[in-house]
Chains A and B, each alone.
Chain A
Amino acid sequence: MEDFKQYLSEGADEREREAAKQVAEGLAGLRLEKKVAEVAAERQVLLRRRFWRRLILTATLVVIAGVAFLIFRENQRVKTPSLQEPGIQQPIATDNPPNISPQTPAKEQEEKKENAPIAQNQAPVGLPSPRFPSPSVRGENKEDKAWKALLDQVWYTEYPIVDLQLSESFGKADQLLRVRDFSTAYVQLQRLERKMPENDTLFLLKGYCLMEMGEGAEALAYIEKIKVKPISWEPALQWNQGLSLLLMGDKAKALKVFREIAASPNHPYLEQSKKAILVLR
C-alpha cells in the first residue's frame, strides 16, 4: 500500500491529512469489496458444480437401483412357476427309473389334494403340474418366456409308453431316455437309424426324444413316419403330436388335436387335454 503522505501538498493542514486518510480508507474498502465479490462469484460456481455433481450422482444411483430392482423382479417372475410347481423338478436318476404315466400323478393328486398348496388346487382341471419342464422352445416362440411357461403347464410326457416292447438293440437308448439324457439318447438313436432306417419303434423313440429336445417339427415328422401303430401307442402318439405342434408354435393345430382327445371319454390324456385347451384359451 502506498504512503498517502506523498500526495499531500507542502505544509498540508489537518483537513488535508484527514482527507488523504479518508481516501486511503475508501480505496482499501473498495479493494476489499471487489475481492469479496470476486470470491462470491467463485463460490457460486463451486456451489453450482457441487449441486450438479450431487444431482448426477443421485440420478446415477436411482438408475442403478431401478435396474437392480427390475433385474430382481424379472428373476423373481422367472422363478415363480418352479416355486409354485414342485412337480417340475428333475428327479434323481436311480437304478429303477420311474414309469412316468400321466394317470399316476392324477391319482396322487386326489389323495393329497387337501394338503396341496393353494397354487396346485387352482390348476384348471385339478391335475397336478407336470413332473418335468418343457424344453426350450425353438422356432417362432423361442424368446417367448410366456410361451415356455404355458408349455410347462401342459408338458405331461410319458416314457416308456404303455405296453412298449423293446428289443435288445434299443436297450441303451431306452436307458438313456429313462434317465432323460436326451442328447446322448439321440446320438444312440441316430446310430440305430442307420442300421434300421424303417423301424417304427425307432421312429417312436426318436420322435419322443426330439420332442423332449424341443424339436417340434422333426418330432412330428418321425411320429408321422410310423407306419404300423399298435393301439396301445396311439393315445401317447396323439398327445405327443399335440405337444409337438405346440413346440412349433402352431396353437390352432395343437388345439384341434387336444379337442379330439378331449372328445374321447376314455382317452388316457383326457384331463391333460382339457387342461391344455383351458390353458391355450
Chain B
Amino acid sequence: MGITAWFSSPNLCKLYDTNERLFEGLRRLDNSAILCVQTKAINSVRKFVGQYRLPAELADDILNQSTLIFLQKIEDGSYQFQNHAPSTYLIEVARRVALMATRTQKNTTETLENQHHLADSGIETDSKRIEATELVRLLLGHLGQPCEQIIRLQHIDGYSDEEVVQQKLTKYSTTDSLKMKRSDCMKKLIQLAQQWKTSNNT
C-alpha cells in the first residue's frame, strides 16, 4: 500500500449512495457494504454502551452480534427493503443486544459470541437458528476429513466447485468427483444431525 493510500481516508459508502444499493450489497454479503452499514452504526452502538454502562470494549462485540442478526434477517427474508436506511434497523438491533448485555453482564464475563442465551428471550435472534449453528459446528468436527473441509469450502467459505478444483484445495481433481463426495458428506451430516436429535429427545 502506498503512503498516499495509507493517508487517504477511505469512503466506505462510496459504492452505496442509496439505501437500496446498500441493501443489495448486504444481501450479497459484500464486505464493503457490511463495513459501510457498520460505520454508520458504530457511534450509536458506542452511545448505547455508554448509556447502559457496559464496558467500552463490548461495543465491538455488540456491533458484530447485531450485524450477524441483521444479516440473518436479510437472508431469511424477515427484513425486507422498504426504502428505509438499513443502518437504522442495525442500530435498533444493536440497542436491543446492548440492553440484553446489561442483563447478562452481571452473571458472566463471557463474550457475546458465546452468550447464546441472549436469544432465548426471543428479542431479535432466532434461537432455532443459533441452535442449528452450534449443532452443525459440533457435527462438522465429528464428520472428520475430508468431509469437513469439503463442506466448509462450499457452504461456509463460499468457494465454487470450479474454484476448489482449480486451486487444488482438495484431492478431488474434477467438479463431478467433488460433487459426488460432497453429496455423500452432506448425507452423512444430515444423518448425524438426525441421530443427535433422536438421542437428545429420548
Q: In the complex the two chains form, is A27's CB within 8 Å of B72's CB? A: no
| Per-residue interface assignment for chain A, residues 211 to 232, with 1 indicating a CB less than 8 Å from any chain B CB and 0 otherwise | 0000000000000000000000
Q: In the complex the two chains form, is B68's CB within 8 Å of A25's CB? A: no
- Is A46 interfacial (CB-CB < 8 Å)? yes
- Is B194 interfacial (CB-CB < 8 Å)? yes
- Is A256 interfacial (CB-CB < 8 Å)? no
Which of A9, A15, A30 sits near B133, CB closer than 8 Å?
A: A30
Quote the shortest CB–CB distance from A26 to chain B (angstroms): 3
Q: In the complex the two chains form, is A23's CB within 8 Å of B186's CB? A: yes
| Per-residue interface assignment for chain A, residues 1 to 45, with 1 indicating a CB less than 8 Å from any chain B CB and 0 otherwise | 010101111000001101110110111111111111111101100
Which residues of the other chain, B, contact A38 by a CB distance below 8 angstroms?
A: 31
Assembly CA distance A16 to B197 (angstroms): 10
- Asked if A43 meets B129 with Cβ closer than 8 Å, knowing A7-B190, A32-B75, the reply is no
Assembly CA distance A36 to B67 (angstroms): 7
- Is B47 interfacial (CB-CB < 8 Å)? no
Quote the shortest CB–CB distance from A3 to chain B (angstroms): 11
Interface residues on B, range: 35 or more
Assembly CA distance A48 to B158 (angstroms): 28
Quote the shortest CB–CB distance from A234 to chain B (angstroms): 72
- Is A145 interfacial (CB-CB < 8 Å)? no
- Is A191 interfacial (CB-CB < 8 Å)? no
Which of B7, B132, B136, B187 sits near A7, CB closer than 8 Å?
A: B187
Q: In the complex the two chains form, is B186's CB within 8 Å of A42's CB? A: no
- Asked if A20 meets B190 with Cβ closer than 8 Å, knowing A36-B68, A37-B64, the reply is yes
| Per-residue interface assignment for chain B, residues 15 to 40, with 1 indicating a CB less than 8 Å from any chain A CB and 0 otherwise | 00000000000000101001100100
Q: In the complex the two chains form, is A29's CB within 8 Å of B197's CB? A: no
> Interface residues of B: mostly helix, strand, loop or mixed?
helix
Assembly CA distance A23 to B194 (angstroms): 10
Quote the shortest CB–CB distance from B30 to chain A (angstroms): 10
Enumerate B130-173 residues with CB–CB distance to A below 8 Å.
Answer: 130-137, 139, 151, 154-158
Q: In the complex the two chains form, is B133's CB within 8 Å of A43's CB? A: no
Q: In the complex the two chains form, is B68's CB within 8 Å of A32's CB? A: yes
- Asked if A39 meets B186 with Cβ closer than 8 Å, knowing A23-B132, A29-B136, the reply is no
- Is A49 interfacial (CB-CB < 8 Å)? yes
Q: In the complex the two chains form, is A25's CB within 8 Å of B128's CB? A: yes
- How many contacts A-B (CB < 8 Å)? 113
Q: In the complex the two chains form, is B35's CB within 8 Å of A43's CB? A: yes
- Is A53 interfacial (CB-CB < 8 Å)? yes
Q: In the complex the two chains form, is A29's CB within 8 Å of B193's CB? A: no
Quote the shortest CB–CB distance from A13 to chain B (angstroms): 9
Which residues of the other chain, A, contact B34 by a CB distance below 8 angstroms?
A: 35-36, 39
Q: In the complex the two chains form, is B151's CB within 8 Å of A39's CB? A: no
Considering residues A9, A26, A50, which has the most beta carbons from chain B within 10 angstroms of its beta carbon?
Answer: A26
Q: In the complex the two chains form, is A29's CB within 8 Å of B72's CB? A: yes
Q: In the complex the two chains form, is B151's CB within 8 Å of A27's CB? A: yes
Assembly CA distance A36 to B64 (angstroms): 6
Which of B31, B72, B132, B190 sits near A39, CB closer than 8 Å?
A: B31
- Asked if A34 meets B38 with Cβ closer than 8 Å, knowing A28-B75, A42-B31, the reply is no
- Is B107 interfacial (CB-CB < 8 Å)? no
Which residue of chain B is the closest to A39 with respect to CB atoms? B34
Which residues of the other chain, B, contact A28 by a CB distance below 8 angstroms?
A: 72, 75, 129, 155
Which residue of chain A is the closest to B133 with respect to CB atoms? A29
- Going nearest first, the 9 A-B pairs with the smallest beta carbon separation are A26-B136, A29-B133, A26-B132, A19-B194, A25-B132, A19-B193, A27-B155, A7-B186, A39-B34
Q: Name 17 extra pairs, CB < 8 A, besides A19-B193, A29-B133.
A: A2-B154, A4-B186, A8-B190, A15-B197, A16-B190, A19-B191, A22-B135, A25-B129, A26-B132, A29-B72, A30-B133, A30-B155, A31-B155, A33-B68, A36-B34, A37-B64, A46-B35
Q: List 26 A-B contacts (CB under 8 A).
A: A7-B187, A15-B197, A19-B190, A22-B132, A22-B136, A22-B197, A23-B136, A23-B190, A25-B128, A26-B133, A26-B136, A27-B156, A28-B155, A29-B72, A29-B129, A29-B136, A30-B155, A32-B75, A33-B133, A34-B156, A35-B31, A36-B34, A39-B31, A39-B38, A40-B64, A42-B35
